[in-house]
Structure 1
Amino acid sequence: MSLYIDADACPVKAESERVATRHRLKMYVVSNGGLRPSQNPLVETVIVPEGPDIADMWIADRVGPGDVVVTGDIPLAAKCVEAGAQVLKHNGEPLTQANIGNVLATRDLMTDLRSADPFRQGGGKGFTKADRSRFLDALERAIRAAAKS
C-alpha cells in the first residue's frame, strides 16, 4: 500500500506527509520539478521529465488496489479508480466508480464552456481551512479502506 501525490499545484502535500508518516506508508510525491524534497525516509520525491501528463502517466502506470492517490486531475483520477485505487481530490472529495463518470462529464462540459467564451475569467473558489480539514478526514478514511482491500 502506497500513497501517491500528484504534486503539481497540490495544496495538501504537508498534510498528506503527516498522515502517511502516522500510518507508516510509502509516499510518492510526483511532479516535473520545483519541489523541495522531504527529509522523511517514507517520502520519495519523483521528478519526471517536462511534458504534458508525464507525472500522471507515472502514477497511473504504478497504482493499483490498496493504493491511495491524491489528485485534482480528473482523467488521472479515472485511470486510478479503474486500477482499483482509492482516489481523493485536494478538498477531500472521494472519486469512485459511482461518481467518476459524472465528474468526467462535468469536467468536459466546463472545458467546452470555457473554450466557447474566451473572456470568461476566474470562477474558481479558494482553498479554505474547511477544505483542508475535510481532506484530512477523507484521507484517513481512504487509507483505512485501502488497507481492507
Structure 2
Amino acid sequence: MQIWVDADACPVVVKEILFRASQRWQKPLTLVANQMLRTPPFHLIKAVQVPRGFDVADDYIVEHASAGDLVITGDIPLAAQLVEKNVYVLSSRGERFTADNIRERLSVRDMLEELRGAGVEIGGPAAFSQSDRREFANALDALMMRLARAPSA
C-alpha cells in the first residue's frame, strides 16, 4: 500500500500527520505537487514535482495510484476517479470518499460551481481548524488500523 498526497492544497499540519503515519506504519508516502516540497529525511517519504498546468498533479496520481492505495485530496473529481479504481480516498478534513457517497459529493460540487458561475456569492470552506486536524488524524488512524487487520489478498 502506498499513500499519495495531492499536496498543492494540502494543509501543512496534515502533511506532518502523514509524515508521522508513514514512519509509524512503514508505508511509502509520496507528495505530488507542481512546486518543490520539503520532506523529512525518511527513506519511505518522497515528493514528486510535476509541471504546472491544469490537473497535472491529479493526472499523475490517477496514473500511478493502484487499488488498495490511499490518496489524500479535497478534489472531488479526482476522488471520483480514484474511487472507481478502488483506491481509498480521504479528504484533509477526514471525510472518506466511497462509491456510496461520491456521486452525491460530485453533485453538490457541481451545483456550487454553477452558483458561483452565475455570480452567487456562496463563500468558501471554513478555515482549517484544530477539530479538522483531529478528525483527519482519527480517520487516518482508523483506516490504517482497519487495513492492517485485513487479511492480505
Per the normalisation by structure 2, the TM-score is 0.90
Q: Give the 3-state SS of the residue equivalent to 1:28 in structure 2.
A: strand
Q: Give the number of equivalent residue pairs.
A: 148
Q: Is the 8 A contact 1:10 1:90 kept in 2?
A: yes
Aligned amino acid, residue 143 of structure 2: A
* CA 121–103 in structure 1, closer or farther in 2 if over 3 Å, else same: closer
Aligned amino acid, residue 40 of structure 1: F
- Where does residue 131 of structure 1 map in the other structure? 132
Question: Mean alpha-carbon deviation: is it higher for 138-147 or for 126-135?
Answer: 138-147
Question: Mean alpha-carbon deviation: is it higher for 138-147 or for 35-44?
Answer: 138-147
- Where does residue 9 of structure 1 map in the other structure? 9
Per the normalisation by structure 1, the TM-score is 0.93
How much is the aligned-residue C-alpha RMSD, in angstroms?
1.5
**CA offset digits 1:29-66 (Å, max 9, x no partner):** 00001422332211110000111101001101111222
Aligned pairs for 1:9-88 (under 5 A) are 9-11=9-11, 12-88=14-90
1:19 offset after TM fit, Å? 1.0
Stretches of structure 1 lacking an aligned partner (at least 5 in a row): none
Q: Distance in 2 between matches of 1:111 and 1:45?
A: 31
**CA offset digits 1:88-134 (Å, max 9, x no partner):** 0110010000000000010000000011016x263421111111011
Identity among equivalent positions (%) equals: 40
Question: Mean alpha-carbon deviation: is it higher for 109-118 or for 93-102?
Answer: 109-118
Aligned amino acid, residue 128 of structure 1: S
* CA 141–65 in structure 1, closer or farther in 2 if over 3 Å, else same: farther
Q: Distance in 1 between matches of 2:64 and 2:81?
A: 11
Q: Distance in 1 between matches of 2:114 and 2:61?
A: 27
- Where does residue 144 of structure 2 map in the other structure? 143
Task: Detail structure 1 runs of 4+ shifted over 4 Å in the superposition.
Answer: none
Q: Is the 8 A contact 1:68 1:146 kept in 2?
A: no
Aligned amino acid, residue 109 of structure 2: R
Q: Give the 3-state SS of the residue equivalent to 2:9 in structure 1.
A: coil
